[in-house]
Structure 1
């Protein structure tokens, strides 16, 4: 994506931090782009590039995946005319390729469809219609670290990460290399069963459960039932995490799982700036593993400065049980896709 007369690429970390500060004023609606800017500012993940208008009075931000024409857009409502002009005139986006524009509020959908059709010469499609569930950071940071009798929450190992990618419904959005780069800097967690960890003992520390924050995963529910006994009373407890024991990964607060071990459930920090890819092995469904991962991921993301949002498909009624854990429904997040000419 080359710099042109409409857009310029943000190259310096100092400017990224300034943009992050500006986006704070638009939270929580700016949660996706905010997290992507923060990711670029505080890591060397090299998964996204940030572009802003040359007009220094504008607050528009366009973030592009480095491998594809996948865009995330932040545009204040009063600047929609400038966003239209950027899309119609910029040479920085290759409209001959498939183009995906994500993180769109309802009011920008008609505009984006119009300009994609005009520039691409083909009709765009509604690709995804998500809900974003938002967790206040102070609530996330107050969740105490839990231990479980049945297993342990760990940063995914290599086999777990590959399994997450291979079972991801939307893996066409990003190559594995991008997910792998994100994994080295953001939480990608799995619930590993105790019997599997015992077989791999010596590779990872298996923590002894303590009475105050102990639960069998069977007492957790992914259907929105009350949280484990005592958790609601402990929500004001400040969470602290042990340092990662893997030098190849950032300090994400969880030991890394053995490289060849598969988790029973998994979740990741998506390329769109919010959490997703939450899945449970069907053989272990109904045991509350998804809730265990949510309760681990929230403070892990918040401790790194990220705002907490989850992508949830509108048809996924079980995932909507996040609301039972203190989530607020934020908005519908539209993704518009301009297919390649070969797929018309």
Structure 2
């Protein structure tokens, strides 16, 4: 995630605040940012994948330094690619008398505080989050007696973990290559990533339906570091592309800055710096007896712009930026 220091707000605020010391400006920048994102809930963040540990139900958030997770965005949390549902503790207790000890595939989550969340049921197996592989590197080597054809290839990472959901990642992006007559397609091994023990090859060609027609070609996972070569007998018709994933826990959250924040996401900065700058100037120009607070007309302008920005942000937060009504996530202390 690309970030910018909060001091980048200086260029948008200090020219209108003659004599204002930078430390005071930085304090008001932080305060305005906290207020705006508390009201707007606009700081959406793709949380890093979280490894699942068998027998552990509570998982702490890992937000950027200086931020806390205000809430998980509903319908945006997945266990191995399977969507989880938020529920109240009363409802979970009604469905599972032993909800805090029952094990199985997680179905619900409870956000207990800004520090983490709880899975119900408690995971029965561990899952190391493994990202999908990049598009495979294709080549060819002399051999066989196959006709010239275009091959379409995807690969997946595999694991030895005894999962109940999936033992391989979602497929990589597709690569394609025209291979000459009497040559065999080769696929380079993907790089080793944490949690992966091998990879699978999925292939299709012009005759099998072209792009998107890939099926599994290898009988057992191929060791990382070992390349794969198409047998001289050509393609086999295996199973289709997997639909599961070894993603562990993936979630999108709403961040809230704290007074310890020193940076802001670059895209968020570009989108909201003007609104936040109005707040900074309104706060500083409201201070009496300061050299930068003499222009009352300018103060009124920034107060009006800031009030308007907060009001609009509150409406957008309520509607979830879609116009649709959203449910409030329950927090339990």
Measured against the shorter chain, the TM-score band is: under 0.3
Higher helix share: 1
TM-score by length of 2: 0.25
TM-score by length of 1: 0.24
